[in-house]
């Protein structure tokens, strides 16, 4: 789709690529010499009518919108002269969208060069000059003997991109834009060629993640047509307009995707919470069953210990009865030394019994007599509590 627009007069001066790196390298060339006229036509992106721009009438134009997903698109324009000697491009595929490596990408198992979704790649940030130097080779893939003849920063390009983003409502506070331009020569398919390559990198730091994108445009032409190609490239850039209705649809699609993603996230969170609650309930049930088992075991152990103690008491009573019966038969009784716990069988007939420190002499006395020698003898008892280790 196209329509005619006012004529732009193309003027010539020494090609940009033959200039030295001084203050004369500016986008505006004073005192030009007129040498020809180009008529421009308005071209509209054919697939979704997403954008429009001016290109020379009669030139070959390919400007398809590249849709990477429902919300991610790239604008790509390729314009060539009828004789194919002038080649102008804005937006080289693959389109550049990057995420700086950090702890999150490491936890996701993504190394530098890996991709999160086939669209965003993990890569360290590059300033515009570095980015241009790395990608000019892809732009000039049809040329041989590439030689970089000049380079310069383009703060005016960075400012233009910021103004454009603010005007179209795409600006993100804190974004950083860097722009640079390279000049080069090479051997093209039609002979010696000269060209320019302009790159910009836009870095956006957000909590937890920093992303950056690269934008490029450039041209290749015979040296005597380099100025013409440069002006065509800049005219295409300056006349580019994004369809506001298409942009509104994109924003709606982005919001819908964000809402769907948020809902899916909330559903996953609810499912995870339900799974956690069920796990906690199972843990509580298992703990209750374990506690019940422990109580049952404690009750059984208490009953067992009580039975053992009862049996031991019975055995002691039975032992005492046996000792008494044996003593009765032998006319003896059993007494205990309280200092050692040792028992002795002694003849009956005394009320009190005493033993010396050596354990070799035991005395028996009637009830009315006390210890005959408290220093030498210790009192003995006919009963002894083994549990409390005390006489009775």
Among residues 242, 263, 292, the one where a domain terminates is 242
Is there a domain that residue 289 lies in?
no
Q: Could you tell me the residue range of the domain that residue 386 belongs to?
A: 331-391
Is there a domain that residue 155 lies in?
yes
How many domains are there within the chain? 2
The verdict on 215 and 336 lying in the same domain is no
How does the average pLDDT of the chain come out, rounded? 80
Split at pLDDT 50, 70, 90, the class of 12 is: very low
Q: Is the pLDDT of residue 150 over 90?
A: yes
What's the pLDDT score for residue 317? Answer: 79
Q: What is the mean pLDDT of residues 244-252?
A: 88
306-338 pLDDT, tens digit per residue, is: 888 888 888 887 877 776 676 666 677 888 887
The verdict on 227 and 336 lying in the same domain is no
Among residues 211, 242, 273, the one where a domain terminates is 242
The verdict on 232 and 348 lying in the same domain is no
* CB neighbours of residue 236 within 10 Å: 24
Among residues 212, 242, 272, the one where a domain terminates is 242
Is there a domain that residue 325 lies in?
no
The verdict on 58 and 199 lying in the same domain is yes
Top-confidence range, 92-106, 201-215, 311-325, 371-385: 201-215
* CB neighbours of residue 188 within 10 Å: 20
49-68 pLDDT, tens digit per residue, is: 999 999 999 999 998 888 87
Distance CA 182, CA 184 (A): 7
Q: Is the pLDDT of residue 25 over 70?
A: no
CA-closest candidate to residue 171, choices 143, 141, 202: 202
The verdict on 114 and 16 lying in the same domain is yes
Determine contact, residues 73/213, Cβ cutoff 8 Å: no
Determine contact, residues 360/349, Cβ cutoff 8 Å: no
Split at pLDDT 50, 70, 90, the class of 15 is: very low
The four Cα atoms 315, 319, 325, 328 give a dihedral, to 10 degrees, of -160
Q: Compute φ and ψ for 33, nearest 5 degrees.
A: -100, 115
Q: What is the mean pLDDT of residues 70-74?
A: 78
Is there a domain that residue 178 lies in?
yes
Q: Is the pLDDT of residue 175 over 80?
A: yes
What's the pLDDT score for residue 230? Answer: 93
Top-confidence range, 14-18, 139-143, 178-182, 204-208: 178-182
Give a three-class secondary structure readout of 69-95: CCCCEEECEEEECCCCCCEEEECCCCC
User: In whole angstroms, how large is the CA radius of gyration of the chain?
Assistant: 51
**Residue 392 token pair:** 């009775």
Partners of residue 79 on adjacent β-strands: 61, 88
């Amino acid at each position: 789709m196209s329509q005619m627009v006012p004529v732009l007069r193309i003027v010539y001066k020494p090609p940009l690529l033959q200039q030295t790196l001084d203050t004369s390298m500016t986008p505006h060339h004073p005192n030009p010499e007129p040498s020809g006229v180009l008529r421009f036509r308005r071209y509209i992106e054919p697939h979704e009518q997403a954008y429009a721009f001016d290109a020379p009438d009669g030139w070959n134009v390919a400007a398809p919108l590249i849709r990477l997903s429902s919300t991610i698109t790239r604008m790509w324009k390729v314009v060539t002269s009828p004789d194919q000697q002038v080649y102008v491009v804005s937006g080289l595929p693959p389109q550049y969208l990057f995420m700086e490596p950090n702890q999150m990408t490491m936890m996701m198992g993504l190394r530098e060069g890996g991709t999160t979704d086939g669209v965003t790649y993990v890569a360290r940030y590059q300033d515009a000059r570095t980015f241009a130097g790395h990608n000019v080779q892809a732009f000039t893939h049809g040329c041989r003997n590439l030689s970089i003849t000049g380079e310069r920063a383009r703060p005016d390009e960075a400012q233009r991109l910021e103004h454009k983003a603010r005007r179209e409502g795409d600006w993100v506070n804190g974004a950083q834009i860097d722009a640079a331009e390279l000049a080069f020569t090479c051997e093209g398919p039609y002979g010696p060629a000269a060209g320019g390559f302009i790159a910009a990198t836009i870095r956006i730091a957000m909590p937890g993640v920093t992303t950056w994108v690269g934008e490029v445009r450039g041209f290749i032409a015979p040296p005597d047509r380099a100025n013409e190609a440069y002006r065509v490239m800049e005219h295409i850039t300056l006349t580019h307009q994004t369809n506001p209705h298409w942009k509104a649809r994109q924003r709606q699609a982005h919001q819908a995707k964000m809402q769907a993603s948020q809902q899916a996230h909330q559903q996953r969170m609810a499912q995870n919470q339900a799974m956690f609650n069920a796990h906690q309930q199972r843990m509580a049930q298992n703990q209750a069953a374990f506690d019940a088992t422990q109580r049952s075991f404690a009750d059984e152990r208490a009953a067992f210990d009580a039975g053992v103690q009862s049996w031991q008491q019975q055995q002691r009573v039975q032992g005492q009865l046996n000792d008494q019966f044996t003593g009765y038969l032998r006319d003896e009784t059993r007494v205990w030394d309280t200092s050692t716990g040792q028992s002795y069988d002694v003849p009956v007939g005394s009320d009190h019994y005493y033993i010396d420190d050596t354990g070799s002499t035991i005395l028996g006395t009637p009830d009315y007599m006390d210890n005959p020698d408290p220093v030498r003898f210790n009192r003995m008892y006919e009963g002894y509590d083994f549990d409390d280790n005390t006489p009775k």
